[in-house]
Structures are given as C-alpha cells and as structure tokens.
A = this chain, B = another copy of it.
Amino acid sequence: MHFASDNAGPAHPAILEALSAANDGYALGYGNDPLSEAVRETVREVFEAPEAAVHLVPTGTAANALILGTMARPVQTIYCTEMSHINVDECNAPEFYSGGAKLTLIETESARMRPEPLARAMETASGNVHAAQPGPVSITTVTERGTLYDLDEIRALADIAHGHGQRLHLDGARFANAAVALGCSAAEMTWKAGVDAVSFGGTKNGCLGVEACVVFDPDLSWEVQLRRKRGGHLFSKYRYLAAQMGAYLEGALWRDLATRANAAMAHLYAGLRGAGLGDTVLYPPAANLLYMRWPRALHQRVLGAGAVYYIEEGALDGDDPDEILTGRLVTNWATTEAEVDGFLALLQPAVAAR
C-alpha cells in the first residue's frame, strides 16, 4: 500500500535486463557508441520527428532545467504555474540553468495554465527595458494535481508563446500516463500541438533514472549538448542511459506501463467513490495521481495502518481530528489491485464513522 510516489516503485525487469545486455565489452563513451545512436533514432521514430535533437539525462529536473536554460535568456522570464515542479520542487534549477531568468506564475484552472492571463503577461512585459522580457512557456501534463491538458489547450498556449517569438516546453515527467489517458501519440501530444521541446520521462514509469530531452528544432541541439556537459549531465558510460531508454520504448513498453498505473488509479478512484469519498477528491484523476482532502483522523488511521503517502498540506500531528489535511496518492506500473483493495479496506471503519 505504497502510494507515496511513482518514483518509489521498482524498475521494470526489462530495463534491468537491457543494462546487462549493454554491458558487453567496450563502447566509446559520451554517446558515441552504436547503441546510443540507435536509441536516439528510436526516440525520433516514436516522436515521428526525424530531425529532432535527442539528449538523455538522468533526472527530470535536469531535463527541464537544461531545456529551459537553453531556451530562456537571462533577461527573460519563464511562464509557468504556481504548483509547477519547476517552481516548487527544483530548488531554483531553472534559474540556475538559465543564468538568472525569473519565473512568472500564471493563473490556473484545475492546475492547467489559463491562456488569457498568459497572453496578458507576455504582452505587458514585451519591450519594456525595465521588465524581464517574455521567455519560454512551460507546462506540465499530467499536471502536478493529476489533471490533463487536452490537445487544443496545449495548442492555444503554444500559439500565444509563438506569437511572441517564444517556445513552449512540456514537462513530461508523466508523459506516458498522459498520452495513454488521451489516447494520442507522442507526436500528437507534442509538436503536432505546438510543443517545441519535451522532457520525456522514463524514471517515474519503470526506468532506473533516464529522461530524454527531445527538442524539435535541431538548431538547438549543439547548445543543449554543451550545456548538458557544463551541467555535469553528459554520462561517460552513456550506454547505460541509452539501454534503459531503448528497453522503455521497445514494443511500446512505456505505454503498457502507464496503462497499468492509470488503471490502478482508476480502480482506486472508483473505490473512493464507492466508499462515499468521491467528494473529497480535489480533481477527478485523469491518470495516476490524485489529491484528497480528508480529516486528520482519517489520515492518521490509514497511515497508522501501514499505508504510505504524503500529506501535502497541513500537519499530521495535531489536536483537531476534524481538521482537513490534503494528501496525495500516486500509483505506478507495479501497483497491484490487491494493494489498492487493501488500501480501500482501511477506509471502511473510518468512513462508517464519518
């Protein structure tokens, strides 16, 4: 009953097997080996983008910061949302990699950036020498609250960014979960909707630690590579990043794993509604992530019984059993139906007492 994060789950066996398979004799370092070249090509095929720059890094923060740092000039501001990972969970990585660009927080609806305030903010800053100038726009889907952008919404934001000569970045830490939820292809969710670069996540969805920076304008490729090296993210034994990403894409494993995680969440959400807790859920979960607002006593009971998840707002310790605390549940590819059912069973007495 471990719902703390999709990064707390294990790697898929196929990923580990690929590491062993890659561990055969010598291979030139830094991505100059045949496996690495083949995997870059596979990523381009998955994205139907034969010219795209594909550069692997070990973490999502690295992918986001590297792409945004390449796209944003230090006199600019990056547009994102208040709850975005780049704003609250990267300890100033975007500021660092961009050389001191600012983040401007745009209003949201269900954790999705709204187009009107974005348009207004970009318009206001533009051409005023005292103000940070409009820079790239960064969105996340699956969002940090478990919701999704549909493709038209992505396109609307892309159009605004492009109208100011700026680019749209997609933080795809849970890219696979979003794509299977939407039932769309990698291309449809990115460049066909106006996305200029994506942090294509593998780590949360069954890899050990690999993300692909996929940048659709090949003119940025060399700069991304130099900045990756400067950030300390160019692996000498690059084949072990490539092997993970290759196995992840092989036979659409990435979609299969996300399908499992999303199904586990659907099962969990159905159970919550069945238990009469549907109205405690912040947003209906579109993929594998859910926020719920429960009284302290319920959290204490469930966590005390062995479930694992994070309290996002409020303190578990406290006197008032009725105070509402916000918790977060995340499923992953390895979450079993039994785990979910076990979790739901913990709710029964508490629900009865509600």
Taking beta carbons and an 8 Å cutoff, which residues of A are in contact with B?
Answer: 2, 4-5, 7-11, 13, 16, 19-20, 23-30, 57-66, 73-77, 88-93, 95-103, 129-133, 203-204, 208-209, 223, 225-227, 229-237, 240-241, 308
Contact = CB atoms under 8 A, between A and B. Distances in A.
A230 B74 contact: yes
A26 B95 CA distance: 32
A240 B209 contact: yes
Nearest to A28: B8
B91 A132 contact: yes
Contacts of A93: 229-232
A94 to B, nearest CB: 9
B5 A75 contact: no
Contacts of A75: 91-92, 223, 226-227, 229-230
Given A100-B92, A235-B209, A26 B225 contact: no
A4 B237 CA distance: 13
Contact of A234 (B59, B73, B74, B234): B59
Residue from A9, A10, A24, A132 whose CB has the most chain B CB atoms within 10 Å: A132
A233 B236 contact: no
A248 to B, nearest CB: 14
B209 A91 contact: no
How many copies of this chain does the complex contain?
Answer: 4
B91 A129 contact: yes
Given A95-B101, A226-B129, A308-B26, A11 B90 contact: no
Contacts of A203: 236-237
A208 to B, nearest CB: 4
A288 to B, nearest CB: 15
Contacts of A4: 26, 28-29
A332 to B, nearest CB: 9
A63 to B, nearest CB: 8
A29 B4 CA distance: 9
Contacts of A62: 231-233
A92 B236 contact: no
Given A91-B129, A209-B240, 14 more contacts: A9-B26, A11-B23, A30-B129, A57-B232, A62-B231, A63-B232, A64-B232, A74-B95, A88-B130, A90-B229, A91-B229, A92-B101, A96-B100, A129-B229
Contacts of A66: 232
Contacts of A27: 8
A101 B74 CA distance: 12
B236 A59 contact: yes
A202 to B, nearest CB: 11
